[in-house]
Amino acid sequence: MTFSIVARSADGQLYGVAVASKFLAVGAVAPAAEPEVGALATQAHANLAYRPQGLALLRTGVAAADVVAGLVAADPGRAQRQLGVVGAAGDGATFTGGDCPAWAGGAAGPGWAAQGNILAGPQVIDAMRDAWLDEATGEPFAARLLAALHAGDQAGGDRRGRQSAALLVVAAGAGYGGGSDVLVDLRVDDHPQPIAELARLLDIHTMLFGRSAPEDLLDLDGVIGEEVAALLTATGYPPGDRGLEAALAAWAGVENLEERLVPGQIDPVVLAHLRGQTG
């Protein structure tokens, strides 16, 4: 009833899961990930105990294939299970029980595994694999996961239709304000086009919480400083006595752009949003 991809970034810093299904809130059931440890997806007749148990095994250095083997060997319901796992090194691993509804199967390679059941056919997994391996796009990790999910959907996806999708990406200290390891945690629980909606949410997430390259940042002085001061005044945040950076921070906090603030500079994404508010 689900198709997913679990993966590790080439530098081993990011771990993630992208999943879609004709099932309510698949993001509440299938994915799990832990930085510097690994990621997994449990599906078909999902065994939610696989999530903590699998991460616990990965935490001790057990290889992905051995994690899969250990989990399913101890599970009397394994014939109805499907599982994908990646660890901190080596190939990913995938398992499809013999009683999973057709078409069901998966594929795995260095740092990734894709799997699905009740699919339109094996072309769904092939499309996900090919999209994931296409590094020529140069997309960020989360976008690559979503692109693989979209490719599977375009190849037929869940043959029953669409309902939900989710994207989970973790990295050490990468969460909001550095206070968590969750870089991206987006869910579409019930929607006629869940993957398209998930893509829309990821675009918003990237705009609010992403980071522009240091060389793209603009110094907050001279002509740029004058423009920003005028724009802030037009939006009701005149610098006045508090100064330009304080006014910018006040405006950015209201707009949820505080994660993009850089002392003495302005992110071009922030500037574009500010310009857009004043027409």
pLDDT reading at 279 higher than 90? no
Residues 203-210, mean pLDDT to the nearest whole number: 95
Q: Left (φ > 0), alpha (ψ -120 to 50) or beta: where does 76 sit?
A: alpha
Chosen CATH of 2-209 out of 3.60.20.10, 2.60.40.10, 3.40.50.300, 3.20.20.70: 3.60.20.10
Domain span(s) for CATH 3.60.20.10 in the chain: 2-209
Q: Are 229 and 244 in contact (CB under 8 A)?
A: yes
- pLDDT value of position 1: 65
pLDDT digits (tens, 9 = 90+) for 38-83: 999 999 999 999 999 999 999 999 999 999 999 999 999 999 999 9
What are φ and ψ of residue 197, in 5° steps?
Answer: -70, -40
d(CA 11, CA 120): 33
Residue 84's CB is within 10 A of a number of other CB atoms, namely: 33
